[in-house]
Amino acid sequence: MIKLNLACGTAVMLLAWAPYVQAKDVAIAAGEGAQMRLQEALIMAEPGDTLVLDAGKFVLSDGLSLDVDGVTIRGAGMDRTVLDFTGQMDAGEGLLVTSDGVTLRDFALENPKGDGIKSKGADNIVYHRVRVTWTGGPSASNGAYGIYPVESTNVLIDGVKVSGASDAGIYVGQSSKITVRNSIAEANVAGIEIENSRDALVENNMAVRNTGGILVFDLPNLPVMGGGNVILRRNLVVDNDTANFAPPGNIVASIRRGTGILVMANDGVLIEDNVLSNNPTAHVMVIAYTQPYEDERYNPFARNVVVGENAFGRGGDDPQMGGAEMLVAAFGGALPPVMWDGVSQGDTGLTVSEGVTGWSLNLAKPGQDPATGQPAPLDVPQPGYSFDTASVGAPAELEARLTS
Amino acid sequence: MRPRNVLLVLAAASLGAAALAAPLAAPRAVNDIAVSQTPLPGKLSDFGFFADPLRQFPSSGVTAYRLNTPLYSDGAEKLRFLYLPEGTSAGSDGEGLLVLPVGAALIKTFAFGEGDDRRLIETRVLLHRADGWTALPYRWNDAQTEATLAIAGGRVNLTTPEGEAISYRVPNKNQCKECHGVGGEVIPIGPKARNLSTAWLQGMVTSGHLDRVPSGSDKLPVWEHRSDAEAASVARAYLDVNCAHCHRPGATASNSGLDLRWEQDDPQALGIGKRPVAAGRGSGGLLFDVVPGKSGESILAHRMKSLEPGVAMPELGKSTVDKDGVAAVEQWIREMPSR
């Protein structure tokens, strides 16, 4: 049964200034008929409503979707309210959100057949303390993305946890004004991926035991390109040594096991104050787009990438690349923390803070065979490019929803 | 009470009186209030689209039509109708969608079984209201006497014409929009002039329901006669009708960059040599959407042939593989010259 818990008159008066004066809570219990009851509540919700999911396991047969603005879905906690998609028969994701101003918090999805939560064209969205888990651990048969906002403006992802995604745990695509923080991405192919997106802040996250920890990409032939203005700071990027289990054909299938942070074809990426340890291929890799493409609008170069001060632990000691043994031997047992392909567009190439060491393949152009490179210690200028911290991240008003 | 609401109450009252006076409970004329005003009519009979619902005989003002190349839905027989309120008519807009007035409705019933064994499963309605189109699914009861609003969709066990026992999916209201949405608005998909026969369009003109036969009408091949048409034309028509409502700019799968509309002629947009973006395991280990000459290496065909959620395309309304559709697309890819 759907219970309507209307706020009392006093509360309504107090909240009269709020945009949704008739907002109500709708409680939904786990158990028999969860699919129909939950989906019906999602459809019948009105702007401002909160769907309160009780603790328990909601066994679902089909994907869910929300298309009403300003709705909150709130569970009893990411370990207490579980949407179980193990028996899912239909749809490409567990939960699809296509409306603006939505808040998703304090619940979990397990074993969605495709993606976990996809929010498409859903502006001003907050994901808070949501968990997406493929419970069988890394497997190519797991779904692709755990948390998947795309084509959206103003995205706040805070305190989420994703593991087992066969592509990216937290994937933000073709979006702008993004914050991903305080989250854990564990045992995915890519932990956190910012793709074809602008103005992203990725901070205070843990990316552990993925194939690659944090990726910043721009890809061709997409409606939205020109990714950049991204800051990655104060993240723990550790032990990313899981063998790549992505199905071939996807871009992340090319990620080398043991990659900490990878920047490919972007404009303006700052990497600083992170802790990187035990990433056996490279702590930081900066490269141009490697594949052939046909798209005049696309820029394949990594431009204005800045590696500031970071804490680099052990790493680069088992690189997954051709000639690894010779390279490791040449560098005295482990590659230095920053790997660059050497490909730059004019003078917009990689810069690093004083004391940051690395090596370069010294390639001349995008797509050049790495085997034809001339590996040598990194020799690049110190940063002159400046980042405007205020220009990255989700707007402050999204934060207010975390405390409400 | 605002004047509009007063009018509504009066209108409802007069309708109620009319219904009491009529010999049958179900109205034989279409209820324009239900079509354009009632937020969520609970029963299909509320609309009065059918003089004989079981036999699917339409009421006055409701015209049956077919599409040259139809959307595949697990082999369901589909009965399509267009309702135009009295005194209104549709307009033509080249080869694209007919321009339907506010108050119009599109009705599509899904049925399985032949002759006396035919079972009506669901009827989907698209209502053109002052604030845009509304899509609603109705599910038929076992007695076949009524279909009721299934806002959250549902599942029905049935056997397809091919003899497969399946769990057939009735879409929920949101899923209607997943296919019918462009730029956040719900729009019709089917009745585009290019996919309607000239004869039907001419009939609509003659009866005063359409301004003229649109230029560019009747371009898509008739599916049953596809062996007479070029493979590319058949496949492109199939992809347009079955895939392009999502795989086009502004629609559900816009972020894939794949645009399968009939009018698209950029090879990359059509998937030729295009790498997957967010396909995940849907790629099946293949590198490109379409590899000319090699259907077995083309993700497009691979996903059409799958029934696994997360891999299968289309994502919705598919419990069986459309073997004829796959054959048409595979033939197109096989005959495609290498680039």
Asked whether residue A267 is assigned to any structural domain, the reply reads yes
Residue stretches of chain A with pLDDT short of 70: 1-21, 404
Residue at A142 is within a domain:
no
Residue A81 C-alpha, separation from nearest chain B C-alpha, in angstroms = 21
Upstream peptide bond of B314 is cis (omega within 30 degrees of 0): yes
Q: Is B15 helix (H, G, I), strand (E, B) or coil?
A: helix
Q: Nearest-CA distance from B280 to chain A in Å?
A: 5
Q: Do both A82 and A217 map to the same domain?
A: no
Same domain, A123 and A170: no
Do the domain assignments include residue A299? yes
A102 and A167 both lie in a single domain:
no
**A291 within some domain:** yes
- B137's enclosing H/E stretch is strand B132-140
A363 and A241 fall within a common domain: yes
Task: Using alpha carbons, list the distances in angstroms from residue A365 to A108, A345, B3, B241, B304.
Answer: 44, 9, 71, 42, 38
On whether both A122 and A168 belong to a single domain, the answer is no
pLDDT tens digits for range B191-223 = 999 999 999 999 999 999 999 999 999 999 999
State the CB neighbour count (10 A cutoff) for residue B297. Answer: 17
Give tens-digit pLDDT for A167-188. Answer: 999 999 999 999 999 999 999 9
pLDDT at residue A19, as a whole number: 58
pLDDT at A11: 43
- Position B338 scores a pLDDT of 83
Residues A376 and A245 grouped into a single domain: yes
Contact A342, A387 (CB under 8 A): no
Mean pLDDT of B250-259: 92
Q: Can you tell me which residue has the tokens 């062996």?
A: B227
CB A246 within 8 A of CB A253: yes
Among the partner-chain residues A61, A174, A250, the one whose CB lies closest to the CB of B279 is A250
In the DSSP assignment, the letter for residue B338 is P
- Chain B residues 146-185 within an 8 A CB cutoff of chain A: 151-155, 167, 169, 172-175, 177-178, 181, 184
Chain B residues touching residue A88 (CB < 8 angstroms): 309
Query: A161 with A139: CB under 8 angstroms?
Result: no
Residues from chain B contacting residue A92 (CB–CB below 8 Å): 309-310, 315
Kindly state whether A362 is in contact with chain B, defined as any CB-CB distance less than 8 angstroms: no
Q: Are residues A216 and A95 in the same domain?
A: no
Looking at the domain assignment, is residue A151 inside a domain? Answer: no
CA distance B310 to chain A (A): 4
Helix axes B173-180, A34-44, angle to 10 degrees: 60
Whether B249 sits inside 8 A of A120 (CB atoms) is no
pLDDT on residue B14 = 44
What separation in angstroms does the CA of A96 have from each of A120, B36, B206?
A: 8, 28, 45
Query: Same domain, yes or no, for A128 and A251?
Result: no
Q: Is B271 on the interface with A (CB under 8 A)?
A: no
Q: Are A282 and A258 in contact (CB under 8 A)?
A: yes
Residues in chain A within 8 Å Cβ distance of B255: 120, 150-151, 173-174, 222-224
* pLDDT bracket for residue B22 (50, 70, 90): very low
pLDDT digits (tens, 9 = 90+) for B103-125: 999 999 999 999 999 999 999 99
d(CA B191, CA B218): 11
A2 touches chain B (CB under 8 A): no
Q: Are the Cβ atoms of B315 and A91 closer than 8 angstroms?
A: yes
Probe site for chain A from B73, B168, B281 (most A CB atoms < 10 A) = B281
Flag whether A234 is in a domain: yes
Lowest model confidence (mean pLDDT) among A126-130, B225-229, B263-267, B274-278: B274-278
Taking the CA of residue B213 and the nearest CA in chain A, the distance in Å comes to 35
Answer whether A92 touches B (CB < 8 Å): yes
Q: How far apart are CA A36 and CA A300, in angstroms?
A: 46
* Per-residue model confidence (pLDDT) at position B16: 43
> In angstroms, what separates the C-alpha of B324 from chain A's closest C-alpha?
22
Tell me the pLDDT of chain B averaged across its residues: 91
Judging contacts by C-beta atoms under 8 Å, the chain B residues touching residue A197 are none
Is residue A85 assigned to a domain? yes
The answer to whether A146 touches A125, Cβ cutoff 8 Å, is no
Cβ–Cβ gap A91/B275 under 8 Å: no
DSSP B149-196: E-TT-EEEEEE-TTS-EEEEEEPPHHHHHHHHEETTEE---S-BGGGS
Residue A119: closest C-alpha in chain B: B252
Q: Is A91 in Cβ contact with B174 (below 8 Å)? A: no
Task: State the pLDDT at residue B152.
Answer: 93
For residues A199 and A110, state if they share a domain: no
Residues of B in contact with A173 (CB under 8 A): 255, 277-278
Using the predicted structure, report yes or no on whether residue B129 has a pLDDT greater than 60.
Answer: yes
A:122-161 residues touching chain B, CB 8 A cutoff: 140-145, 148, 150-151
Of A214, A347, A228, give the one whose Cα is nearest residue A284: A214
Residues A387 and A272 in one domain: yes
Confirm if B334 and B267 have CB atoms less than 8 A apart.
Answer: no
Higher-pLDDT residue of A236 and B20 is A236
Query: Are A173 and B255 in contact (CB < 8 Å)?
Result: yes
pLDDT higher than 70, residue B182: yes
For residue B148, the 8-state DSSP code is E
Number of domains observed in the structure of chain A: 2
Exposed/middle/buried for B100, CB within 10 Å: 0-12, 13-18, 19+? Answer: buried
Sign (positive/negative) of CA torsion A305, A309, A312, A317?
positive
Query: Residue A101 — left, alpha, or beta (φ > 0 → left; ψ -120 to 50 → alpha)?
Result: left
Q: What are the residues whose beta carbons fall under 8 Å from the beta carbon of A318, sequence distance 6 or more?
A: A258, A280, A281, A324, A328
- Render A153-187 in DSSP notation, one character per residue: EEEEEES-EEE--SSEEEEEES-EEEEEES-EEES
> With contacts defined as CB-CB under 8 Å, which chain A residues touch B184?
121
Structure tokens at B204: 């609509």
Q: What are the backbone angles phi and psi of residue B162, rounded to the nearest 5°?
A: -80, -5
Q: Is A254 on the interface with B (CB under 8 A)?
A: no
Q: Which residue of B157, B174, B258 is the best one to mutate when testing the A interface, meaning the one whose CB has the most A CBs within 10 A?
A: B174
Chain A from 296 to 325: CB within 8 A of any B CB: none
A139-159 tens-digit pLDDT: 988 999 999 999 999 999 999
Q: How is chain A split among helix, strand and coil, in percent rounded to 5?
A: 10, 40, 50
Under 8 Å CB-to-CB from A28, ≥6 apart: which residues? A2, A34, A37, A38, A41, A51, A52, A53, A54
> Both A125 and A169 in a single domain?
no
DSSP annotation of A51:
E
Could you give phi then psi for residue B7, rounded to 5 degrees? -60, -40
The reported pLDDT for the residue numbered A173 is 96
Would residue A146 count as lying in a domain? Answer: no
| Average pLDDT of the segment spanning B254-265 | 94
Of the partner residues B177, B277, B299, the one whose CB lies closest to the CB of residue A219: B277
Rounded Cα distance between A112 and A148, Å, is 13
- The set of residues, in sequence order, having a beta carbon less than 8 Å from that of B34 and lying 6+ positions away, is B41, B46, B47, B48
Segments forming the whole domain that contains residue A89: 23-133
Whether A125 and A195 map to the same domain: the answer is: no
| 8 Å CB contact between A75 and A53 | yes
Q: Do A249 and B285 touch (CB under 8 A)?
A: yes
- pLDDT tops 50 at residue B18: no
Name every chain B residue with its beta carbon within 8 A of the beta carbon of A65: 172, 174-175, 178
